Amino acid sequence: MQMTPKVLRVWAKILRALPTSRLVVKCKPFCCDSVRDSFLAKFQKLGVESLRVDLLPLILLNHDHMQAYSLMDIRYATLDCPCLLKMILERSIAHLNTSDDGRS
């Protein structure tokens, strides 16, 4: 898997700034446990709990592949990586909206 350290640092910074957000990374090599473990360890070193990063391997059926996108609020493809990075802002958007209104 090719992803630069800079891209990892940027996503880690975003996740640290939005503590209830999650990141979904979809990439064929994530079918291998050692690749998954190595990738998650990089995020842990950057201060992001591995439970906040979901790794999806290749999804064979087109229907299932498209269904995976329904789990995501924002989809982002990096220019320096063949994998698609997506961020799920589960409760973060609601949290940010309530913070703006003065509600808690």
Give Cα separations from 100 to 10, 24, 40, 97 (angstroms): 25, 26, 33, 5
| Mean local confidence (pLDDT), 18-33 | 86
Domain ranges of the chain: 5-101
Task: Give the pLDDT band (50/70/90) at residue 83.
Answer: very low
Contact predicate 97/18, CB 8 Å:
no
- For the ranges 24-33, 63-72, 81-90, 91-100, the maximum mean pLDDT occurs at 24-33
* Contacts of 102 by beta carbon, 8 Å cutoff, 6+ apart: none
- E strand residue ranges, 4-88: 22-26, 53-56, 74-77, 84-88
| Mean local confidence (pLDDT), 4-29 | 87
- The CATH architecture of the domain made up of 5-101 is 2-Layer Sandwich (3.30)
Contact predicate 55/39, CB 8 Å:
yes
What pLDDT does residue 97 have?
A: 61
